[in-house]
Structure 1
Amino acid sequence: MRTTTVGDVTILLPDLDPEDLDQVSDLPDDDLHDGLVQAASWRGRQIADWSIRGCRITGADLGEIAWEGGALYGCEIVQTDLSGAALTGVSIERCSVTGSRLTGIRLIDVRLKDVLFDNCRFDYATLNRVSAAGSVAFIDCTLVHGTWSSCRLSGVVLRSCDLSNLELDSCRLDGADLRGSRLHAFAASLDNLQGVALTEEQLPELTRMAIDALSIDVRADSARGHDR
């Protein structure tokens, strides 16, 4: 059993030995188990009610795939292109995604449990009704200009990520660990951020969010030197 700890969260990760995996180049007609996928191109393919289990996928082109239903379990995804992909109703558990591009990805009704995203690009990503059923962490990820709506991500870890211009709508992010993340123009309802962990350096951005949320009018003290 392999685990990693990020902040206060421990994530159960896949423990794969490439020598125990079968080389796979073509997309099979049925579920994919115990496969080693290297530099394959499945761009734009459509799959439904499909399961990928115990696989290592590296250097692959999975851009613009449409995957509806099914599960991704116990997998390692490394330096893979998932830009423009659409995953709907997929369960992702005990997986690590490292150094991969997920620009413009759409995740809808996706369930995450024991998932680590490390040094990945999620810019312009759309997350709708994504839920964290267990430990989930994003480390050194770029999530700029994304739109997350109706997500349930309490306790998620977003460490040292760029959250600039990320917009959250009706998302639960309470108890999240945002330490070290860039919050420039980060937009979220304050009541959905209860109990988040921040560093002192991030407090000015939190202040900005509070001022925007409360429509506070910050003015110069024009009364100085005059009668009050």
Structure 2
Amino acid sequence: MRTTTVGELRILLPDLDPEDLDSASDLTDDLSDAIVEDASWRGAELKDVRIRSSRITGADLSESTWEAGTLSGCEVTRTDFSGATLSGVTIERCAVTGSRFTGARLTDIRVKDVLFEGCRFDYATLSRVAAAGAVAFVDCVLTDATWSACRLPDTVLRSCQLARLELDSCHLHGADLRGNSLHDLKASLGNLHGTTLDEDQLSDITHLAVTELNLTVRRR
């Protein structure tokens, strides 16, 4: 295993050796120690599928449905989950890079030691996504997405695009939001309780407060 640090968060990630992996193209109920490149699983219906210690690159899982199962110890790169529906899936010790979740629906997902880097979550809906360990979003697009009843304490977001990201009844206590513009968030201030910000974001928080409280600000 290898580790990476984002802000003050240390994330445990897989350290896969391609020589230890076998080439695969079929998505079985238990895919382990595999290397998958450019596989097309568009519209697949998956249930209780377990993918472990594998490297997936350039796969197409758009419009697929994945119910229950696990994604553990994997590297997922340039993979398309656009329009996919994931429910009850556990994602643990994974690095997800340059992948697309545009319009995807993630419900009752458990995440632990997961790094999302350079991924697109625009128009995605995350419902009851819960972090059981370190999670970070780096250089991700989260515009027009919705997070509802998510429990993501101590999560780190860095250099992400958050325009019109809607937060509804989320628990983000201890999350590090430094380095992102919060100006166009669609969220009540309670969703940001206990988060860490930098001084440059105070004007964004003031804007959110004025909007939420319907204040009228006038010059003397």
Once the two structures are TM-superposed, the CA of residue 102 in structure 1 deviates from its matched residue by 1.1
For 1:10, the equivalent position in structure 2 comes to 10
Runs of 4 or more, structure 1, over 6 Å off, are none
- CA radius of gyration, larger in: 1
Distance 1:141 1:180 in 2: 12
8 Å Cα contact 1:175/1:193 also seen in 2: no
For 1:206, the equivalent position in structure 2 comes to 205
8 Å Cα contact 1:120/1:140 also seen in 2: yes
Kindly report which structure 2 residues correspond to 1:178-193, keeping only aligned pairs within 5 A, or say none.
178-193=177-192
Once the two structures are TM-superposed, the CA of residue 196 in structure 1 deviates from its matched residue by 1.6
For 2:84, the equivalent position in structure 1 comes to 85
Which segments of 5 or more consecutive residues in structure 2 lack a partner in the other structure? none
SS in 1 for 2:187: coil
**Residue type of the alignment partner of 1:12:** L
**Residue type of the alignment partner of 1:165:** R
Distance 1:93 1:100 in 2: 17
Once the two structures are TM-superposed, the CA of residue 189 in structure 1 deviates from its matched residue by 2.2
Q: Does 1:96 align with 2:98?
A: no
Distance 1:60 1:47 in 2: 15
8 Å Cα contact 2:45/2:64 also seen in 1: yes
Matched positions, count: 220
Distance 2:118 2:199 in 1: 24
TM-score (norm 2): 0.97
For 2:163, the equivalent position in structure 1 comes to 164
SS in 1 for 2:136: strand
Once the two structures are TM-superposed, the CA of residue 212 in structure 1 deviates from its matched residue by 1.5
Which segments of 5 or more consecutive residues in structure 1 lack a partner in the other structure? 222-228
For 2:107, the equivalent position in structure 1 comes to 108
Once the two structures are TM-superposed, the CA of residue 181 in structure 1 deviates from its matched residue by 1.0
The CA RMSD over aligned residues, in Å, is 1.0
Distance 2:184 2:57 in 1: 34
Distance 1:118 1:56 in 2: 16
For 2:214, the equivalent position in structure 1 comes to 215
Deviation readout 1:152-181 (Å, 9 max, x if unpaired): 011111111011100011011121111111
Once the two structures are TM-superposed, the CA of residue 73 in structure 1 deviates from its matched residue by 0.4
Once the two structures are TM-superposed, the CA of residue 27 in structure 1 deviates from its matched residue by 2.2
8 Å Cα contact 2:148/2:170 also seen in 1: yes
Once the two structures are TM-superposed, the CA of residue 200 in structure 1 deviates from its matched residue by 2.0
Q: Give me the identity figure in percent.
A: 63
Distance 2:196 2:159 in 1: 12
Distance 1:72 1:26 in 2: 16
Tell me whether 198-207 or 2-11 shows the greater mean CA deviation.
198-207
